[in-house]
Amino acid sequence: MFRGSDPINMDAKGRMAIPTRYRALLAELCAGELVVTIDMKSTCLTLSPLPEWRRFEEKVAALPALDPLGEMLSRFVVGQAKDLQLDGSGRVLLPTELRDYAQLEKKLVLVGRTQRLEIWSEENWNRERDKSQQSYRAMLQEPGAITDALKNLSW
């Protein structure tokens, strides 16, 4: 559904334009209703079509009440989530507290992650991409580092 990366500018009010290639899809999937929240693993935000977000929320709600990871997901990922609406110009207004969390300034990168999108500051994205490439190269040198599932992944 969502793939690739797109450089994007955010205006002074915190509005970000969704790339044209995603607008018709978002209109069809969710009538432009989106949910944005923090990413617990990285300094970025995740942006989901509302139906995808609801599926995720159901999974979190089904976790055992005393599960520490479930508690963290519920408190921080679900608890920080904000509803957004795509405006007539194809933009969304990112809440200030979420922009601050992800260190977002003018230059952003929108990254497709199949069912959701990630919103990165350009600087954090470049650093993460470089770190990941180095880690990947190092993993290829480690015997047994790649799982069977990944060994069988091809396209």
pLDDT of residue 119: 98
How do residues 55-109 score in pLDDT, each as one tens digit?
999 999 999 988 898 898 899 999 999 999 999 999 999 999 999 999 999 999 9
Domains and CATH numbers, the chain: 5-145 (3.40.1550.20)
How do residues 67-80 score in pLDDT, each as one tens digit?
898 898 899 999 99
Between CA 78 and CA 56 the distance in angstroms is 9
How do residues 32-41 score in pLDDT, each as one tens digit?
999 999 999 9
Average pLDDT, the chain: 92
pLDDT of residue 57: 93
Alpha carbon dihedral 44, 50, 52, 58, in 10-degree steps, equals 100
Whether residue 153 is predicted with pLDDT greater than 70 in this model: the reply is: no
pLDDT of residue 154: 59
Residues 6+ apart with CB under 8 A from 44: 102, 111, 118, 119, 120, 121, 124, 125, 128
Between CA 110 and CA 50 the distance in angstroms is 18
pLDDT of residue 134: 80
Q: What letter would DSSP give residue 42? A: S
Q: Which residues does residue 151 pair with via DSSP β-bridges, in sequence order? A: none
> Mapping DSSP to helix (H, G, I), strand (E, B) and coil, where does residue 118 land?
strand
Q: 10 Å Cβ neighbour count for 93?
A: 17
